[in-house]
């Protein structure tokens, strides 16, 4: 995959230059390569744009749009139930496959302390930007959001490394949302998933479940499409589902 870095705001100059240096990517000035993506820093934040226009720009925003709506008007009952949340009990959760941090945000809104782990540098950059931008905006005019975001801490590493260094029982719940199996009809896949399928290496979650079960204090939760097989063919203690999604719960 080729990547074109576009900087339209002075705010992002140093940040993008550092990312490009660390990842050994050239900051191109010419017309973007149509096989790849652009990482764009502008006044709205950092976003990932498909140069072929396969889908809209991907930007994480905790201050407006879908996630803000879910914070204010609810949703996410199934995931809350899956991690075992109940009155007076807010589990400490490690999300080993953070992605765009949507599931983690829903849990942080519900009062859980979250550690988000992401191994892909581009996705980590989008997440890091969203957390910094969100905290900056919230501290001025939205103290409730500031408190929610302060419960989310982000790590840029492979989940295998996180699990190796994790003190047994320090996380109540370990959460896994592996990449869904590729669907044949591209149109049926959401824009974020299309991008993920293009940029993220496949199979990076293999073996995490077994290791997570040894480290979680209470349970490991795995998100799956409703009719998918169990992750790594390991039967869950029980599952809960709605029309499209299933959470497999492994009690430890
Ligand atoms: C389906 S997405 C997760 C979406 C996320 N639950 C959300 O709410 O946005 C899976 C993510 O897991 C990450 N991932 C896969 N294997 C990983 C590993 N071994 N360590 C850390 N992150 C991993 C991928 O890079 C990808 O961003």
CA 61–ligand 1 middle distance (angstroms): 18
Q: Does residue 88 register a pLDDT over 70?
A: yes
User: In 10 A of CB 213, how many CB atoms?
Assistant: 15
Between 24 and 166, name the one with better pLDDT. Answer: 166
Ligand 1 atom at shortest distance from the alpha carbon of 162: 20
The number of distinct structural domains making up the chain is 2
Q: How far apart are the C-alpha atoms of 92 and 191, rounded to whole Å?
A: 30
Asked whether residue 99 is assigned to any structural domain, the reply reads yes
Strand 219-225 to strand 238-241: parallel, antiparallel, or no bridges (unpaired)? unpaired
For ligand 1, atom 25, which residue shows the shortest CA distance?
A: 120
Residue 142's domain comprises 65-251
Same domain, 131 and 246: yes
Q: Look at strands 45-50 and 92-95 and give their pairing.
A: unpaired
Task: Dig out the tokens for 249 from the structure.
Answer: 């719960």
29 and 100 part of one domain: no
What's the gap in Å between 205 CA and the centre of ligand 1?
Answer: 8
Ligand 1 atom with minimal separation from the 104 CA:
8
Q: Which two tokens stand for residue 144?
A: 């409730």
pLDDT digits (tens, 9 = 90+) for 107-163: 999 999 999 999 999 999 999 999 999 999 999 889 999 999 999 999 999 999 999
Residues near ligand 1 with C-beta < 6 Å? 96-97, 99-103, 117-120, 123, 158-160, 177, 179, 196, 200, 204-205
pLDDT for 1 equals: 58
């Amino acid at each position: 995959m080729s990547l074109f870095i576009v900087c339209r705001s002075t705010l992002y100059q140093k940040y993008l230059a550092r990312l490009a240096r660390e990842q050994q990517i050239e900051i191109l000035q010419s017309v973007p390569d149509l096989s790849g993506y652009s990482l764009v820093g502008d006044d709205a934040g950092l976003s990932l744009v498909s140069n072929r226009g396969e889908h809209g720009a991907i930007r994480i925003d905790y201050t407006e749009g879908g996630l803000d709506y879910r914070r204010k008007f609810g949703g996410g009952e199934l995931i809350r139930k899956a991690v075992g949340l109940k009155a007076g009990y807010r589990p400490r959760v490690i999300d080993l496959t953070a992605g765009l941090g949507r599931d983690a945000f829903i849990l942080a809104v519900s009062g859980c302390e979250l550690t988000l782990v992401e191994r892909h540098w581009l996705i980590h950059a989008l997440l890091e930007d969203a957390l910094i931008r969100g905290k900056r905006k919230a501290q001025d005019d939205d103290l409730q959001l500031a408190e929610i975001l302060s419960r989310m801490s982000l790590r840029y590493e492979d989940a295998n490394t996180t699990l190796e260094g994790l003190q047994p029982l320090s996380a109540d719940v370990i959460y896994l949302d592996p990449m869904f199996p590729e669907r044949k009809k591209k149109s049926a896949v959401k824009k974020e998933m299309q991008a993920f399928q293009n940029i993220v290496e496949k199979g990076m979650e293999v073996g995490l479940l077994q290791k997570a079960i040894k480290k979680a204090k209470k349970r490991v939760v795995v998100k799956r499409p409703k009719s998918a097989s169990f992750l790594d063919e390991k039967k869950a203690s029980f599952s809960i589902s709605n029309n499209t999604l299933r959470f497999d719960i492994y009690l430890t």
